[in-house]
Amino acid sequence: MPGISDTTQRSATISVLVDNEAGVLARVIGLFSGRGYNIDSLTVAPVDDAGRRSRINIVTSGTSMVIEQIKAQLDRLVPVHRVADLTMDGPHVARELALVKVICTAEQRVEALQIGTSFRARVVDTTLGSFVFELTGATEKIDAFIELMRNLGLAEVSRSGIAALARGTRVI
């Protein structure tokens, strides 16, 4: 585990369980903007049956000291129940969903479809001149797919940001 004084930058995936109340997302985002922390990705949705708790997943980056500080700052927000650093606490899975629109010529269509198949992307909308691919996976996989589509008529991208869980029996 890197020491607190380590000055190298690292990426961290942090999951936060919060009361699903008005303003809670503003509190979290305000904390990041007010204190100058990065947000590389952020997702939020209710995660229990009653809709009382939400899970916020944040991908951020900074030195160990900054990331520890982010966790401590999140932890002291009143509606926050749990803060977990999935990157530090053990192996985890992180996935995001992307919708990728490609507007292309006939020759490009074949190639785009082929690449889509090899990435296990689903075609969720088709017209004579366009596709919308749906793709889930790790952030790097989605980045790679989008990169390949750039030469094949990439028109628009919508990404969910990551959802993440610890591997194995661990829960936060």
Partner 1 sequence: MAAELTQSGAEILLRALKDQGVEVIFGYPGGAVLPIYDALFQQNSIRHILVRHEQAAVHAAEGYARSTGRTGCVLVTSGPGATNAVTGLVDALMDSIPIVCLTGQVPTHLIGNDAFQEADTTGITRPATKHNYLVKRPEDLARVVHEAFYVASHGRPGPVVIDLPKDIVINKAPYTEPTVQHPSYRPRTEPDADQIAKAVALLRGAKRPVIYAGGGVINAGPEASALLTEFARTTGFPITNTLMGLGSYPASDPQFLGMLGMHGTYEANLVMHGCDVMLAIGARFDDRITGRLDAFSQGSQKIHIDIDGSSINKNVAVDIPIVADAGKALAALLAGWKASDAPVDKPALAAWWRQIDVWREKKSLKFTQDMKRGGIIKPQYAIQRLYEITRARKQEVFITTEVGQHQMWAAQHFNFEKPNRWMTSGGLGTMGYGLPAAMGVQLAHPDALVIDIAGEASIQMNIQEMGTLAQYRLPVKIFILNNQYMGMVRQWQELLHGSRYSETYSNALPDFVKLAESYHATGMRAQSVDELDAVIHAMLDCPTAVIADIAVDQAENCFPMIPSGAAHNEMLLGPEHEASGAGITDAGLALV
- Rounded to whole angstroms, the Cα distance separating 133 from 107 reads 17
- Rounded to whole angstroms, the Cα distance separating 34 from 48 reads 30
Q: How far is the CB of 155 from partner 1 (least distance, A)?
A: 35
Q: How far is the CB of 73 from partner 1 (least distance, A)?
A: 5
Residue placing its CB nearer to partner 1 in the complex, 66 or 152:
66
> For tokens 């932890």, what's the residue?
75
Token pair listed for 21? 């109340």
Cβ atoms of residues 87 and 12 within 8 Å: yes
Q: How far is the CB of 29 from partner 1 (least distance, A)?
A: 10
Residue placing its CB nearer to partner 1 in the complex, 30 or 129:
30
Q: Which residues pair with 37 in a beta bridge?
A: none
Q: How far is the CB of 50 from partner 1 (least distance, A)?
A: 13
Residue placing its CB nearer to partner 1 in the complex, 22 or 50:
22
Residue placing its CB nearer to partner 1 in the complex, 5 or 127:
5
Binding interface with partner 1 (CB under 8 A): 4-5, 19, 22-23, 26-27, 30, 34, 65, 68-69, 72-73, 75-81
The enclosing H or E element of 65 equals helix 64-75
Cβ atoms of residues 104 and 148 within 8 Å: no
Residue placing its CB nearer to partner 1 in the complex, 4 or 110:
4
Cβ atoms of residues 144 and 92 within 8 Å: no
Q: How far is the CB of 113 from partner 1 (least distance, A)?
A: 47
- Report helix angle 24-35 to 64-75, nearest 10: 150
